[in-house]
């Protein structure tokens, strides 16, 4: 048994078992156990990669860049499953979901984890596409799980928009394969990322340029880049809350990971041409537009989950911009930001799940006085938003500071856009947050049973990353930075 095999087999077997398992009480625990096993495999995998450098196994390839995302994915998968067990049982007990829907939920939860992990670890661009499309298919039934007209509409929008986007990404993949045919002798290896990366300078730049446009628009749809973001707030707000946590914390990261891998190929191919930074410039453009537009949209939200999904778009835009900027400092900052954003955002969604449970509504106007009713939930929401808005001493501050520094170094004029964007987003979040946590609680509002362990764990980690990044993690991220940009930061 190799660590990679364990990491991938656990969700596969777990997903099948959960589809067959009838007793509901057991399903939540099994889901948790499978997620724990996956995390065990991921940590073991990370250890092996730290020792050996790169693991190559049956057209899978794990290096410093993807291994940290594998661990992050497995970790958020585990903490969300801890939250989801009592939460989904409660939802089930209200009669909104039948036992059949619960089985679909648990089985698809693991199927989603599997597709994420395959997308991260595969070395084959075609399999990467299949896995990311698979992630859409696994989650689309979960978005419509409650069967309300809104949920069905959100799921249909999600399905169609991501389906179209991902189809364009496949066209880009075909074009990449076409360019590879003149470079890589063995046609079977024409989609192998590592083989292509070695000889990226020989890939036809004209073809790769067109291919990247399709790949960016395609995978960018799943990242949630404006203007292809329309599905994201709907899917996040209408699906079950644990799903929003993993969609925001994981799926968006994986899609961005795919874009960055492909950018590495295109950069290699365009290095000798008149426009060597074309891919980076496109990422910067899309990133900045998403960042700004999402920040503005934050102000007019009236649904709490919609609001935080716009905050996700904003942060994904910032990361996309940073990866586009390139250079070791920006890339290091973007990698760190991926990590802290995932941790913070999934903690926020878990808290939001409890908050909507207390208030009995998702409308921001209806959620009032959380700190009075249940201090744990109120304070978690407050701290989570403080963290995501980029206040010290949380880790988001560190990464955003690094990104601003990097921008100041290479493209000083963009710093204004970034700083004002951050300020706009901050204002948008806090004008809604303030009455929700403070203010008088409506009469008869009672505390609920809430397991705050995942939130504490996530926010604690984010705080730790803000105070001091542990050495092993810094080395880890530095190795990934070197892989992407070719130069060390530390």
Partner 1 sequence: MTLALLPLLQQFVLLLAALVMFLSFVLLAQARLISAIHSFAWQGALVAAVTLTVAVAGETHHLYFSAILTLALKALLIPWMLHRLTRRLGLERHTEDLHWPTLAIMAAVVLVIFSYWLVTPMVAQGLAFTRNIIAVSLAVVLIGLLMMVVRQQAVAQVLGFMSMENGLFLAAVSATAGMPLVVELGVAFDVLVAMVLFGVFFFQIRESIDSLDVDRLNRLTETADPVGANPFATTDEVSQ
* Stretch 132-161 residues interacting with partner 1 (CB under 8 A): 133-134, 137, 140-141, 144, 146-157, 159-160
Q: How many residues bind partner 1 (CB under 8 A)?
A: 71
145-179: b (≥16 Cβ within 10 Å) or e: bbeeeebeebbebbbebbeebbebbbbbbebbbeb
* Stretch 328-367 residues interacting with partner 1 (CB under 8 A): 353, 356-357, 360-366
| In the block, residue with structure tokens 């939802």 | 91
CA angle 232, 238, 239 (to 5 degrees): 90
Stretch of 94-102, 258-266, 285-293, 456-464 lying at the interface with partner 1 (CB under 8 A): 94-102
* Stretch 447-486 residues interacting with partner 1 (CB under 8 A): none
**What's the min distance (Å) between Cβ of 302 and partner 1?**
5
Structure tokens at 215: 């790949």
What interhelical angle do 412-437 and 395-410 show, nearest 10?
Answer: 160
Structure tokens at 357: 């449970």
**What's the min distance (Å) between Cβ of 27 and partner 1?**
17
**What's the min distance (Å) between Cβ of 303 and partner 1?**
4
**What's the min distance (Å) between Cβ of 133 and partner 1?**
5
Answer yes or no: are the C-beta atoms of 211 and 168 closer than 8 Å: no
25-59: b (≥16 Cβ within 10 Å) or e: eebbebbbebbbbbbbbbbbbbebbeeeeebeeeb
* Stretch 169-188 residues interacting with partner 1 (CB under 8 A): 170-171, 174-175, 177-178, 181, 187-188
Nearest residue (CB) to partner 1, 44 versus 90: 90
x-or-dash pattern for partner 1, window 218-257, by CB under 8 A?
Answer: ----------------x--xx-xx----------------
Say which residues have a Cβ less than 8 Å from residue 405's Cβ, sequence separation at least 6: 329, 333
Answer yes or no: are the C-beta atoms of 49 and 479 closer than 8 Å: no
**What's the min distance (Å) between Cβ of 439 and partner 1?**
17
Is position 167 an interface residue for partner 1 (rule: CB under 8 A)? yes
**What's the min distance (Å) between Cβ of 67 and partner 1?**
23
In the list 207, 296, 371, 419, the residue contacting partner 1 (rule: CB under 8 A) is 207
Is position 383 an interface residue for partner 1 (rule: CB under 8 A)? no
DSSP annotation of 201 reads G
Largest CA distance in the chain: 73
Is position 327 an interface residue for partner 1 (rule: CB under 8 A)? no
CB-based burial label for 411 (10 Å; 0-12, 13-18, 19+): middle
* Stretch 398-417 residues interacting with partner 1 (CB under 8 A): none
**What's the min distance (Å) between Cβ of 106 and partner 1?**
16
DSSP letter string, 155-184: HHHHHHHHHHHHHHHHHHHHHHHHHHHTT-
* Stretch 259-298 residues interacting with partner 1 (CB under 8 A): 297
Is position 210 an interface residue for partner 1 (rule: CB under 8 A)? yes
Say which residues have a Cβ less than 8 Å from residue 287's Cβ, sequence separation at least 6: 225, 317, 318, 319, 320, 321, 322, 323, 324
Answer yes or no: are the C-beta atoms of 120 and 63 closer than 8 Å: no
Nearest residue (CB) to partner 1, 156 versus 379: 156
Answer yes or no: are the C-beta atoms of 433 and 385 closer than 8 Å: yes
Nearest residue (CB) to partner 1, 305 versus 337: 305
**What's the min distance (Å) between Cβ of 447 and partner 1?**
14
**What's the min distance (Å) between Cβ of 69 and partner 1?**
21
Is position 99 an interface residue for partner 1 (rule: CB under 8 A)? no
x-or-dash pattern for partner 1, window 114-133, by CB under 8 A?
Answer: ----------x-xx-xx--x
Nearest residue (CB) to partner 1, 75 versus 129: 129
**What's the min distance (Å) between Cβ of 62 and partner 1?**
18
**What's the min distance (Å) between Cβ of 187 and partner 1?**
7
Q: Pairing relation of β-strands 55-57 and 60-62? A: antiparallel
In the list 267, 303, 314, 478, the residue contacting partner 1 (rule: CB under 8 A) is 303
* Stretch 2-61 residues interacting with partner 1 (CB under 8 A): 59
Q: How far is CA 67 from CA 44, 54, 293, in A?
A: 10, 10, 32
Strand, coil or helix: 350: helix
Nearest residue (CB) to partner 1, 307 versus 402: 307
């Amino acid at each position: 048994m190799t660590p990679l095999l364990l990491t991938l087999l656990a969700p596969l077997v777990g997903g099948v078992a959960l589809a067959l398992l009838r007793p509901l009480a057991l399903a939540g625990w099994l889901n948790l156990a499978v997620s724990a096993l996956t995390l065990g495999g991921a940590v073991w995998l990370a250890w092996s990669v730290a020792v050996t450098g790169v693991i190559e196994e049956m057209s899978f390839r794990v290096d410093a860049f993807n291994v940290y995302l594998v661990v992050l994915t497995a970790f958020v998968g585990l903490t969300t499953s801890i939250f989801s067990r009592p939460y989904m049982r409660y939802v089930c007990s209200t009669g909104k979901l039948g036992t059949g829907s619960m089985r679909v939920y648990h089985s698809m939860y693991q199927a989603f984890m599997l597709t994420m992990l395959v997308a991260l670890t595969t070395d084959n661009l075609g399999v990467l596409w299949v896995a990311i499309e698979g992630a859409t298919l696994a989650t689309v039934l979960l978005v419509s799980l409650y069967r309300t007209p809104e949920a069905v509409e959100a799921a249909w929008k999600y399905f169609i928009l991501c389906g179209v986007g991902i189809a364009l990404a496949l066209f880009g993949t075909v074009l990449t394969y076409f360019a590879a045919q003149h470079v890589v002798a063995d046609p079977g290896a024409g989609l192998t990322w590592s083989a292509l990366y070695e000889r990226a300078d020989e890939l036809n730049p004209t073809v790769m340029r067109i291919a990247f446009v399709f790949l960016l628009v395609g995978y960018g749809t799943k990242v949630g880049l404006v203007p292809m973001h329309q599905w994201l707030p709907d899917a996040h707000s209408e699906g079950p809350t644990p799903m929003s946590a993993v969609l925001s914390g994981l799926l968006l990261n994986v899609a961005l990971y795919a874009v960055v891998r492909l950018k590495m190929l295109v950069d290699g191919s365009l290095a000798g041409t008149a426009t060597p930074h074309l891919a980076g410039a496109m990422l910067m453009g899309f990133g900045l537009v998403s960042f700004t537009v999402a920040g503005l949209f934050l102000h007019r939200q009236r649904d709490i989950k919609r609001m935080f999904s716009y905050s996700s778009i904003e942060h994904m835009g910032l990361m996309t911009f940073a990866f586009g900027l390139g250079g070791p400092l920006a890339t290091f900052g973007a990698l760190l930001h991926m990590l802290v954003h995932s941790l913070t955002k999934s903690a926020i969604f878990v808290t939001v799940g409890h908050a909507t449970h207390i208030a009995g509504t998702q409308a921001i106007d209806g959620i009032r006085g959380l700190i009075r009713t249940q201090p744990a939930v109120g304070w978690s929401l407050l701290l989570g938003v403080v963290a995501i808005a980029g206040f010290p001493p949380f880790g988001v501050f560190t990464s955003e500071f690094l990104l601003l520094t990097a921008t100041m170094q290479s493209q000083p004029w963009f710093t204004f856009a970034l700083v004002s964007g951050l300020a706009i987003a901050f204002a948008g979040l806090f004008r809604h947050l303030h009455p929700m946590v403070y203010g008088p609680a409506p009469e008869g509002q009672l505390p609920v049973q809430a397991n705050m362990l995942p939130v504490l764990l996530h926010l604690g980690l984010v705080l730790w990353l803000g105070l001091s990044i542990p050495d092993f993690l810094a080395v880890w991220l530095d190795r990934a930075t070197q892989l992407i940009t070719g130069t060390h930061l530390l």
